[in-house]
């Protein structure tokens, strides 16, 4: 009985799109709060790993109601969590590569699943609008993981104002500066793959905003026509 009530509660949580709002709240913490709160007295890597773990779990809860998608996401999340904490306990390049690769795949999967929830047919509520913002932040985080992965494989792929051992917050900053095409120029891609990543992220950042606005307006107008 308790298990059924828990499952029904999760279904209501997902069906009302509240999971999208919770996911966005955690993304805001990871993208904006953690970098600002990091100090030399706090282990930035540990704080980032803890926040990412909460983010991955919340993303798994907010996924589609389709069984195979839930299963696939749960497997990805479990693998990403395992590799992340093993890499945290036993630092090594091989573990670091596995950590960033698993995180990248999981974030891209989240972005795809959440985008499907946001852009599905039906009335557009504020949770779905917040979900669209969450997809944008997930794209930025995915590119941050891709950049960190490239840095681990090719340490000289980026030049400029980089610390000796860049923390995740460094790559989050660089990723969102690129995604928004702000481009301060303090960190510069020099490896061909790094430059390709920068070009792709800048283009996707602009296209996503235009496509999202058009899609949400179309869904809202369609819902209004049905009510008439």
Which pLDDT does position 10 carry in this prediction? 42
Which pLDDT does position 14 carry in this prediction? 47
The full length of the chain comes to 228
Q: Rounded to a whole number, what is the distance in angstroms from the first to the last CA of the chain?
A: 42
Angstrom distance (rounded) from CA 168 to CA 158: 14
The predicted model scores a pTM of 0.80
Displacement of CA 49 from its chain's centroid (Å): 13
Model confidence pLDDT, tens digit, residues 40-93: 545 556 666 677 777 777 766 665 556 666 677 777 777 777 777 776 666 666
Closest-CA residue to 27 (of 174, 110, 137, 179): 137
Domains of the chain, first to last: 2-227 (1.10.287.70)
Model confidence pLDDT, tens digit, residues 127-154: 788 888 989 999 999 999 999 999 999 9
């Amino acid at each position: 009985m308790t298990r059924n009530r828990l499952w029904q509660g999760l279904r209501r949580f997902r069906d009302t799109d509240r999971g999208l709002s919770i996911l966005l709240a955690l993304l805001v913490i990871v993208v904006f709060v953690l970098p600002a709160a990091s100090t030399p007295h706090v282990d930035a890597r540990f704080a980032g790993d803890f926040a990412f773990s909460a983010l991955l779990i919340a993303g798994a809860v907010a996924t589609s109601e389709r069984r195979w998608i839930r299963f696939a996401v749960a497997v990805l999340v479990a693998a990403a969590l395992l590799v992340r904490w093993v890499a945290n306990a036993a630092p090594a390049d091989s573990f670091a590569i596995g950590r960033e690769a698993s995180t990248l795949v999981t974030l891209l999967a989240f972005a795809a699943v959440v985008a499907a929830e946001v852009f599905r047919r039906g009335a557009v509520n504020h949770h779905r609008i917040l979900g669209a913002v969450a997809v944008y932040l997930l794209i930025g985080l995915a590119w941050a993981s891709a950049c960190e992965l490239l840095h681990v494989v090719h340490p000289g792929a980026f030049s400029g104002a980089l610390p000796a051992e860049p923390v995740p917050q460094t790559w989050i900053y660089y990723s969102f500066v690129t995604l928004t095409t702000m481009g301060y120029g303090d960190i510069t891609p020099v490896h061909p793959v790094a430059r390709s990543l920068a070009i792709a992220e800048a283009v996707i950042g602009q296209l996503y905003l235009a496509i999202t606005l058009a899609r949400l307006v179309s869904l809202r107008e369609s819902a209004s026509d049905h009510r008439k």
